[in-house]
Structure 1
Amino acid sequence: MSESTPVAQTKTSAWRNPFGLALVAYYLVMAVVGLLIPDDILRANAWARDFSDFMASVVPQIDRITALNIRADVNRFYFSVLWAASPCLFVISALNRPGFSRHL
């Protein structure tokens, strides 16, 4: 018979660290942003149209979602904001990773 394994140590919840809190905050902020986007965002605001066009040139998925014709302007702007904000969350989580400063 194999050796007995030690009792598993209790871990703290994954949501109780800076990354977990940032992830929950990010989800809530993006949900609110999605609800507050006006239907004519791209027709009424040139900056939103330019931003969405730029993000669609970087992320082809945005044009594919727009092609579904389900609130196309709202979804185009929302996914542009989503794709622009996601790398920021990734950088924040990487910088807060334990031991990150040792690797610099």
Structure 2
Amino acid sequence: MSGATLITCLFVFVLSSFVGFELINKVPPTLHTPLMSGANAISGIAVLGAILVSGSEDLTLSVILGFVAVILATINVVGGFLVTDRMLLMFKKKEVKA
């Protein structure tokens, strides 16, 4: 990877981080949990992409970053499902004790 390509990739990463941070801050708290549960599918795609990146035979920087991406995306997917499960428990009717 050339120096210009690395600088371009870092620029896109930093810019997307700022845009994502601003977008998440604009979401009202009542919509944050449903948005999180809807984002699980996107995180699942990120896990698959990270597995493809880290599947190389030689140990390079991209393999290490792909492995870190697999771990972080998996944590995001599991956390999203836990939040969704907790949200769905709020809609269950409570049993009446006799």
TM-score (norm: length of structure 2) = 0.37
* Bigger CA radius of gyration: 1
Tell me which protein shows more helix as a share of its residues: 2
